[in-house]
Structure 1
Amino acid sequence: MKQLKQDLPMLTVLTVVTMMAFAANSLLTRLAFQTTHIDPASFTAARLGAGAVVLLIMKKMRLMHAAGAREAWTSAAILFGYAIAMSYAYRGIGTGAGALVLFAAAQVPMALSGYRKGERTSSLGIVLALGGLIAFLQPWRSSATLGSAALMAVAGIAWGLYSLRGKATGNAVQWTADSFIYAVPMAVLWLLPTWSFIKGDLSGLAYAALSGAITSALSYVLWYWVRSQMTATGAGAVQLSVPVLSVVLGALVLGEHVSAWSLMSAGVTLVGVALISMRTTRPAQ
Structure 2
Amino acid sequence: MLVAIVLWRVRCADALHRPPVRGGWIGGNWAGALSLLVYAVAFAIAYVQVATGPGALILFASVQFAMLAWAVLRGDRPAPLEWLGIGVAFGALVYLVSPSLVTPPLGAALLMALAGAAWGAYSLIGRGSRAPLVDSAGNFLRCTPAGVVLIGLGVWRLPPDAQGLACALASGALASALGYIIWYSALPSLSRTRAAFVQLTVPAIAALGGVVFVGEALTLRLMLATAGITGGVALALAASQRRRPAAG
Give yes or no for the alignment of 1:57 onto 2:17.
Answer: no
Cα distance, 1:235 vs structure 2? 0.7
CA shift digits 1:58-89 (9 cap, x unpaired):
11222231346xx5333222111111111111
Aligned 8 A contact 1:89 1:148 in 2: yes
Contact 1:114 1:231 in 2 (8 A): no
Distance change (3 Å), C-alpha of 1:193 and 1:212: closer
Counterpart of 1:245 in structure 2 is: 205
Identity rate, percent? 34
Name the residue aligned to 1:82: 39
- Give the letter aligned to residue 100 of structure 1: L
TM-score (norm. length: structure 2): 0.84
Unpaired runs of 5+ in structure 1?
1-53
Which of these two proteins has the greater Rg computed from alpha carbons?
A: 2
Distance across 1 between alignment mates of 2:160 and 2:179: 27
Gaps of 5+ in 2: 11-20
Select the residue among 142, 146, 158 that pairs with 2:118: 158
| CA displacement, residues 193-212 of structure 1 (integer Å, 9 cap, x when unaligned) | 66752422221121111111
For normalisation by structure 1, the TM-score amounts to 0.74
Which structure 2 residues correspond to residues 6-21 of structure 1 after superposition, within 5 A? none
Q: How does 1:90-239 map to 2 (within 5 A)?
A: 90-121=47-78, 122-141=82-101, 145-191=105-151, 196-239=156-199
Corresponding residue SS for 1:159: helix
Which residue is 2:222 aligned to? 262
When the two structures are aligned, how many residues end up with a matched partner?
230
Alignment RMSD, CA only? Answer: 2.2
Aligned-pair CA distance for 1:183:
1.0
Report the equivalent of 2:17. none
Q: Distance in 1 between matches of 2:95 and 2:187?
A: 29
Tell me if the contact between 2:39 and 2:119 (Cα under 8 Å) persists in the aligned partners.
yes
Secondary structure, counterpart of 2:121 in structure 1: helix
Deviations 1:78-103 (A, max 9, x none): 11111111111111111111111111
Supply the AA of the counterpart residue of 1:57. Answer: A
**Alpha-carbon distance in structure 2 between the residues aligned to 1:98 and 1:140:** 16
Residues 1:95 and 1:143: Cα distance change in structure 2 (over 3 Å):
closer
